[in-house]
Amino acid sequence: AQKVTQAQTEISVVEKEDVTLDCVYETRDTTYYLFWYKQPPSGELVFLIRRNSFDEQNEISGRYSWNFQKSTSSFNFTITASQVVDSAVYFCALSEALQTSGAGSYQLTFGKGTKLSVIP
Amino acid sequence: DTEVTQTPKHLVMGMTNKKSLKCEQHMGHRAMYWYKQKAKKPPELMFVYSYEKLSINESVPSRFSPECPYSSLLNLHLHALQPEDSALYLCASSPLPGQGIGGYTFGSGTRLTVV
């Protein structure tokens, strides 16, 4: 069974500090997908990034960057120069593809989330 | 159109009521999902539809009844719910395996309160 561990339950940082959110996953599949989502207090899940298991390139998008390391089964997320608007719960998620009788689906397994509070 | 639209956004219902949640997507996705998210918890999978057929039911009580009348519409019928069923209900859609997972999309959710 697949599993996602986000060991940090809550993190508080002062505005403009850098912060890294950790994500460790377990899966038996060689093909899988990893996601990060942001969930602000309003409740919607905001998609941040998706990575497939064959693409270990790190990615940077503005103040956000992701470090994917298959050797340690980790997919960590760094926010540089944090801002108050970054305050939210961040979820890491893992998906395997399930084929059933010619159809199939992708099911996401989420970590427990990390609540980030950025203090002005 | 790259959205999953859920209605209503908020719903308050009594334990004897019958109500339905609605989810629509027009991206041509053939897999659709219901997730339930309790406060301060991650989303948990409830149901999966693939080609409009129920393929996975994660041991959800029968007071939740999903329906996928056609590929772009997913309903969740609610009957005789309990206060502990109060949660955010999220719908998602995706392509099928083999077509790439790009476009796995969540709706903004229905916040349900059972009184």
**Interval A45-67: pLDDT, tens:** 999 998 888 888 888 889 999 99
* Per-residue pLDDT at A70: 93
Both structure tokens of A42: 């309003």
Contacts of B90 in chain A (CB under 8 A): 45
Backbone angles phi, psi at B71, to 5 degrees: -65, -25
When CB atoms are compared, the residue of B33, B50, B90 closest to A104 is B50
Contacts of B41 in chain A (CB under 8 A): 112-113
Nearest alpha-carbon partner for B91 in B27, B9, B5: B5
Mean pLDDT along residues B23-39:
94
* Per-residue pLDDT at A99: 61
* Per-residue pLDDT at A112: 97
* Per-residue pLDDT at A30: 85
Instruction: Tell me the pairing of strands B110-114 and B10-13.
Output: parallel
How does residue A78 score in pLDDT terms, banded at 50, 70 and 90? very high
Distance of CA B101 to the CA centre of its chain: 19
Residue B11 pLDDT > 90, yes or no?
yes
* Per-residue pLDDT at A42: 86
Residue A100 pLDDT > 60, yes or no?
no
What is the chain A residue with the closest CA to B95? A105
How does residue B57 score in pLDDT terms, banded at 50, 70 and 90? confident
Task: Give CA–CA dist A19/A47, Å, rounded.
Answer: 19
- Tokens 């697949």 correspond to what residue? A2
Contact B16, B23 (CB under 8 A): no
Contacts of A106 in chain B (CB under 8 A): 31, 94, 97, 101, 104
When CB atoms are compared, the residue of A37, A43, A105 closest to B111 is A43
When CB atoms are compared, the residue of A35, A45, A106 closest to B31 is A106
Interface test with A, best of B104, B110, B111 (most A CBs within 10 A): B104
Strands (E), chain B: 4-7, 10-13, 18-25, 31-37, 44-50, 53-57, 64-70, 73-79, 87-94, 105-106, 110-114
How does residue B22 score in pLDDT terms, banded at 50, 70 and 90? very high
Helices (H), B11-60: none
When CB atoms are compared, the residue of A97, A103, A110 closest to B42 is A110
Chain A nearest-CA distance from B16, in A, is 27
Residue A81 pLDDT > 80, yes or no?
yes
Virtual torsion, Cα A92, A96, A102, A103, nearest 10 deg: -10
Chain A nearest-CA distance from B15, in A, is 24
Task: Give CA–CA dist A83/A75, Å, rounded.
Answer: 22
Using left for φ > 0, alpha for ψ between -120 and 50, and beta otherwise, residue A73 falls in: left
Contact A93, A35 (CB under 8 A): yes
Span of A71-85, B31-45, B47-61 with lowest mean pLDDT: B47-61
- Tokens 């009521």 correspond to what residue? B17
* Per-residue pLDDT at B101: 66
Contacts of A91 in chain B (CB under 8 A): 42-43
How does residue B41 score in pLDDT terms, banded at 50, 70 and 90? very high
* Per-residue pLDDT at A55: 85
Task: Give CA–CA dist A4/A110, Å, rounded.
Answer: 6
